[in-house]
Structure 1
Amino acid sequence: MAINSNNKKLTVVIGASANPQRYSYLAVSRLTAHGHPVVAIGLKDEKIGDTPVIKEHPAVEAVDTITLYLNPQRQQAYYDYILQLHPKRIIFNPGTENPELEQLAIKNGIEPIEACTLVMLSTGQY
């Protein structure tokens, strides 16, 4: 199946881990397999396939999606960073739902979505 290059969505994965048992690992792997450029941010400098996982919070332009793999308490340290990236949407994967961040997103013109990135990719909804 050919993927339309116009549908590439720059995605920042927050809470990325090189542990193959983690959903964030699967998300980074599947996003790149679908041709989406990924910036993976985690607690350690490591790699998921060819994608580096970095500890820094780089300035990234034209972010389409932020997908979260951090519990709500750990997300608080990222609020300012997430909002300054001005993504079109934030995906709150199961276990990451956060009404406070969802309200901040709405106030900043960002669409909050409570969904699973992996399911969205597998069903063509990403």
Structure 2
Amino acid sequence: METSNDKKLTVVLGASPNPERYSNMAVNRLKAKGHPVVAIGKRAATIGDTPVITDHPSLEKVDTVTMYLNPLAQKEYYDYILQLQPRRIIFNPGAENEELEQIAREHNIQPVEACTLVMLSTGQF
């Protein structure tokens, strides 16, 4: 059972201001469930009241990085993700990346091939 202390700081990588994109829906649904979200994308924008930033801020206590970038676009974020030391990385459909999943395991980060939206709707987040 979730309590208010169970909110998971989540970094959405590949966040898009386009409401038809799954990354956009994920930011909105995470916020609706009360999870703090940092949205990082290619262009500065906003999703609702959440800014989409282009830099790589230093963050503490990141629970989850949810990935909406293709494997090639992920490479530039490898070091940043490791620096965040998240508990897990969710590789959404189309973002599966065996190389980064292996690197994650070597750094005690759990790789999860799943859909963040499905996990949220089924209570698995």
After TM superposition, is the score higher than 0.5? yes
Q: 1:120, CA displacement in angstroms?
A: 0.1
Q: Counterparts of 1:60-99 in structure 2 under 5 Å?
A: 60-99=59-98
Q: CA RMSD for the aligned pairs? A: 1.1
| 2:28 aligned partner, one-letter code | S
1:113 aligns with 2:112: yes
Q: TM-score, normalised by structure 1?
A: 0.97
Aligned counterpart, 1:27: 26
Q: TM-score, normalised by structure 2?
A: 0.98
State how far apart, in whole Å, the 1-side matches of 2:36 and 2:3 are.
14
Partner SS state of residue 32, structure 1: helix
What is the percent sequence identity of the aligned residues?
Answer: 69
State how far apart, in whole Å, the 2-side matches of 1:4 and 1:44 are.
34
1:58-104 per-position Cα deviation (integer Å, ceiling 9, x unaligned) = 00100000000000000001000001100000000000000000000
Moved over 6 A (4+): none
* Structure 2 gap segments, 5+ residues each: none
* Structure 1 gap segments, 5+ residues each: none
